[in-house]
Structure 1
Amino acid sequence: MPDDVFIAISGEALHSKSKVYVSRALARKSLGDLDEYQLWASLALELLGKAALARKHPSLIVDPTHWQSMFVAAGINVTTDVKTITAKTLFERLAHLVPRFDKTIQKFCEGIAERRNAELHSADLPFRAMRLDAWEARYWHACDTVLQEMGSSLEHWLGATDAKAPRRLLDEAANAIDAAVKLRVNAARDKFKALKKSVRDRLAAEATLREPQHQAALFRDRFDEVWVETCPSCGCRAFMTGEQTGEDISEERDEYAVWEIVDREFIGEEFRCPTCELSLIGSDEIKATGLSYVHEDQQERELQYEPDYGND
């Protein structure tokens, strides 16, 4: 990473500016101006996300089609007109960087950015149409998720006093999710137990024959992998899907082997049980059941060798 990063793409500078903007957001809320509250909050969220990426490397937030910006990200300051990625690209990248920044959070963040753009660049008034309880708790949850990845917290970002209200909202939202998911699990369990034992046994036997590679149709979106889980409601073979967040080459390999073992990690995004029809969306709902949303496995694949040059 370059030692002297231009301030426009400095992770520390972006983080500091996000703190200024979120402070303005809370100030507008205290005055009852909920439109500007959401406006400044949306700007603070985008800056915070860019700060998280820039701390990994500033090249992650510059426009890859603008070569001058790429040079600046490499520490070669050829311009002061640095172009950065769009909010949509930002949140897509955060979904790969931050394990708990799942599709549910990503779509929420994209939505608030779209409303911000409409507010600034059109005659529409999208913020005025949004009720506070429709976005505020999810907003603080998204911020808290990014801050945890950065080794920070709402308390540090906002200041302990200002953070009390968002933290209370997060606790309330978490409790609501936990209660709703437990009711959903219990309802699916009761429905399954109400079946005749012979029917339950038949369904359980059929579930054991299902293989992950044939379950893509169960899920709303396409993901990198589908794996087996035990359903917390009916105890049958169920499935989870998610995106790969990392891989490492295992050291367990013979010197002359033509295959390598890859340790892979995935973050669960959706859970489906074909037997009792229990459905869970997002890592928060999955976690509320006691299931782990982190999945690790090993894959064997053929070694890829670089071509030899200049030896012919």
Structure 2
Amino acid sequence: MTAPYDHGALWVKAKLFINRAMDEDSSRTFDEKALWAALALELLAKSALSRVSPLLIAEPTEDGGNLLIASGLVEGDARFISVRAKTLFARCQRAFKPFNLKEASIITSARNEYLHGSAVGFLAVPSNVWWARYWAQASILVNALDRDIEEFVGDDREPTVMAHLDQNAKNVEHRTEMLIERAKQRLSQHLDGTLPARIAAEWKPGLDRSIGFTHRGIQSCPACGSNGTIEGDDITDTSAELVQVDEEDYEVIVNIIVAAEYFSCRNCQLVLDRYELIEQAGLPTTFETEGDSEDYREPEYGND
């Protein structure tokens, strides 16, 4: 019997669902296809995480049953329950850059509305736009599984997927250009005194637009050249050095490399809130900053 957390079985099921989503049967509407695709995305997330460790998709319970099943310590007829889609996608965002929790959550919300609500959530976005955004996320998970698009959808459907990916790349390019040009225009209008009163009431230079991630650094703004703030939570690398501060004392200096997730500029109010936008704008996708040496001290263990 195949384990419910087996990444290979989850991959096969995701393939089954995505093929239903891409079925050319004219009786299958876009919203139905989008539903199958949304289910396939969740299965891809489970497969990618479970391939690393089944523990990453196991729902914690008081008796630890799910974790024990995922670790292989409990076998038999015990029921395995995986974590919610939002948790899966949050973990994928941290593990498989540049997977985007916000984009994946939009897909999941539409799926939930379709299944449990009175509206048809998938129809809120034009189908060509929806598919472009969908494949931007799904392709990351396929790659995380060391697979390719052809293996996932078949060689006859691969060109369709690649066309959606190309469209998404253009969308990211256009949105980045739009955000930068709008920030330039608003700053210019402010300096010239021609900013409309309604906009001026909301747009003020010096307003802190940072989001509050754990780590931050300084980076030149692509719109106005001023010092902006680049932020992120996930540390990708760490190094430490021992520095002598006087004849008898040394201090540990910790340097960390952080994945860039958000950029903001106080001067022109530019905000780039996605990895893809940061990358498209030519900003570094990681930044170096100083960590807290206390976080890297060995804990003291007592025997009492």
Which TM-score band (shorter chain)? 0.7 to 0.9
Confirm or deny that 1:277 pairs with 2:269.
yes
Q: Which range moved further: 31-40 or 181-190?
A: 181-190
Residue 22 of structure 1, aligned match among 18, 25, 28: 18
1:305 corresponds in structure 2 to 298
2:167 corresponds in structure 1 to 172
Q: Deviations over 1:27-58 (max 9, x none)?
A: 16765521210111011000001111111110
Per the TM alignment, residue 249 of structure 1 is displaced from its structure 2 partner at its CA by: 4.9
User: 5+ residue gaps in structure 2?
Assistant: 193-205
Q: Pairwise mapping of residues 186-225 of structure 1 onto structure 2 (< 5 A)?
A: 186-189=181-184, 195=191, 217-219=208-210, 221-225=211-215
Residue 226 of structure 2, aligned match among 222, 236, 240: 236
- Counterpart secondary structure, 2:269: coil
2:72 corresponds in structure 1 to 75
Matched to 2:88, the amino acid is: L
CA contact (8 A) 1:236 1:275 kept: yes
2:42 corresponds in structure 1 to 46
Residue 94 of structure 2, aligned match among 93, 96, 108: 96
Matched to 1:96, the amino acid is: R
Change (3 A) 1:89 1:191: closer
Residue 51 of structure 2, aligned match among 55, 71, 95: 55
- Counterpart secondary structure, 2:261: strand
Q: Which range moved further: 82-91 or 143-152?
A: 143-152
Matched to 1:75, the amino acid is: G
CA contact (8 A) 1:6 1:72 kept: no
- Distance in 2 (CA, whole Å) between partners of 1:305 and 1:39 is 48
CA contact (8 A) 2:209 2:269 kept: no
Change (3 A) 1:172 1:128: closer
- Counterpart secondary structure, 2:45: helix
Q: Pairwise mapping of residues 131-146 of structure 1 onto structure 2 (< 5 A)?
A: 131-146=126-141
User: 5+ residue gaps in structure 1?
Assistant: 197-209
TM-score when normalising by structure 1: 0.79
Per the TM alignment, residue 140 of structure 1 is displaced from its structure 2 partner at its CA by: 0.6
Query: Aligned residue pairs: how many?
Result: 283
- Distance in 2 (CA, whole Å) between partners of 1:35 and 1:184 is 31
Matched to 2:231, the amino acid is: T
CA contact (8 A) 2:11 2:43 kept: yes
Change (3 A) 1:236 1:126: closer
Per the TM alignment, residue 243 of structure 1 is displaced from its structure 2 partner at its CA by: 1.9
- Distance in 1 (CA, whole Å) between partners of 2:254 and 2:141 is 28
- Distance in 1 (CA, whole Å) between partners of 2:7 and 2:250 is 42
Q: Deviations over 1:116-155 (max 9, x none)?
A: 2333345543335553145221111111122233333323
- Counterpart secondary structure, 2:234: strand
